[in-house]
Structure 1
Amino acid sequence: MGSQQRVWGGTTLEQRRAARRSALLDAALDLLGEHGGAGVTVRSVCRKAGLTDRYFYENFASRDELLAALFLQVADELQQAMESISPAGGSREEQARAAVEAFVSVCLDDPRKGRLLLVEPLSDAALSGVSVGVAPTFTRLVRRQLPPGASKNESILTSVALTGAVATLFFGWLSGTLTVSREELIEQCVRTVLLFWNQPRD
């Protein structure tokens, strides 16, 4: 039996390492939600997770690597939510609402995740680079939802503009600069999606 499979306390070494990694990521998300990126340090994360820095460096080379891994984990969650939307079927309004609700399920139902994806990358260098790197994935997902009939370049431009418009609305709400109710925000996002989808074409 390999060292990774040796059981201690009912779990293998690999399982314990995975649990420690998960605890560190959860702690970082909590701290970011409470204090922003500035509140996420190796020391604060270890204290929050109840682990020593030895276990931190077992999983991450630095605080920046931890934040990048956390961002990618939550971005993957959002990607899965958006991929679950059927690109066909239902009215345009129903499809637009489904797309917005997929975004809401990750970014508003857990505001820590919304802040991680949309607010902190503007001020934290560890997140800005990885945010730019994953942006094309989401514009491609938006393109899948666009009604047919547009040229390739028009679809690309529309998906980038639409993603930016909705993200800006969510950013405003999460950062506190947009003081409307959650319901008003969702309805405006749906109207915004429909506005882009219903543009007249030559």
Structure 2
Amino acid sequence: MPTTARTWGGTTLTDRKAARRDQLIEAGLDLLGDEAGPAVSVRAACRHAKLTERYFYESFADREELILGVYEHVGAATHQALVDSVRDAPPAAADRAAAAVSAFVELILDDPRLGRVLLLAPMTEPALSKRGVELLPAFAALVREQLPAKADELDREMTAIGLVGALANLFIAYLNGTLVVSRDRLVAHCVNLLTRADALHQGRE
């Protein structure tokens, strides 16, 4: 006979574990994405999430696993936002570029923690140094898909990798305050980089 999950307060044990994990991810996002710099520890995460360490260890083996969980959460959310923006944009290259850049800028301005976790934390947090590099191909693939399909495949690959590196450094400078520029100017410049790359490849067809 099948058994139903035991409930307490209308939720199952699995639901409660998932909710506690979400609380810890949110706490880790606050700590890792803090403007003053990351200060993540098991104790700090538990205090921030208002949970005991017992509940921390039901979801994460250690602080490094929490940090990776936070980073992957932010990376997935960012990737999905970019995919959605391009999918819903008009077909013109400039419109697709504007939609993608605007979506990313909106993401990191509306919640600066996300930008700090995605772009700044890998430079100071050893647990993320390798993971940050591993995410780059996924973002480069998004850019490559917007370049003319008839262009040389290797050229498209190199252009996409170069553009992701250039855009990442622009956003890093914007987030850490070394680049002082308006939101509109930043978006316009990034869109120009992307559309010029598209035009270059169009010219090679």
Tell me the TM-score normalised to structure 2 length.
0.90
Q: Deviations over 1:12-32 (max 9, x none)?
A: 111110010000000111112
Q: 1: distance between equivalents of 2:136 and 2:93?
A: 24
SS at match of 1:58: coil
Residue 22 of structure 1 corresponds to which residue in structure 2? 22
2:96 alignment partner in structure 1: 95
Matched, 1:77 2:77: yes
> What CA distance in whole angstroms lies between the structure 1 residues aligned with 2:11 and 2:89?
45
Distance 1:13 1:148 in 2: 49
Counterpart of 1:172? 173
- Following superposition, the deviation at residue 186 of structure 1 comes to 1.2
* Unmatched runs of 5 consecutive residues or more in structure 1: none
Q: Which whole-Å deviations, capped at 9, do the CAs of 1:26-48 have from their partners, x for residues lacking one?
A: 011111222422x1111111000
Secondary structure at the residue paired with 1:61? coil
What TM-score, normalized by structure 1, do the two folds share? 0.91
Contact 1:87 1:145 (8 Å CA) reproduced: no
Change (3 A) 1:12 1:106: same
Instruction: Please give the alpha-carbon distance, in whole angstroms, between the structure 2 residues aligned to 1:152 and 1:107.
Output: 31
In structure 1, distance between residues paired with 2:53 and 2:91: 52
State the 1:195 CA deviation. 2.4
Deviations 1:55-97 (A, max 9, x none): 1111000111111111111111112122221398433221210
Q: Corresponding residue for 1:9? A: 9
Work out the CA distance in 2 between the residues paired with 1:16 and 1:97: 40
**In structure 1, C-alpha distance between the alignment counterparts of 2:100 and 2:50, rounded to whole Å:** 38
> What secondary structure sits across from 1:136 in the alignment?
helix
Aligned residues with identical type, % of pairs: 45
Question: What is the correspondence of 1:44-193 to structure 2 with a 5 Å cutoff?
Answer: 44-84=44-84, 85-86=86-87, 89-193=90-194
Any stretches of 5+ residues in structure 2 without a counterpart? Answer: none
Cα deviation code 1:146-166 (max 9, x no counterpart): 123320100000000111111
Contact 2:31 2:40 in 1 (8 A): yes
Distance 2:194 2:12 in 1: 48
Higher alpha-carbon deviation: 158-167 or 98-107? 98-107
Q: Tell me the equivalent position of 1:201.
A: 204
Secondary structure class of the residue paired with 1:86: helix
- Greater shift, 189-198 or 115-124, is seen at 189-198
CA RMSD of the aligned region, Å?
1.9
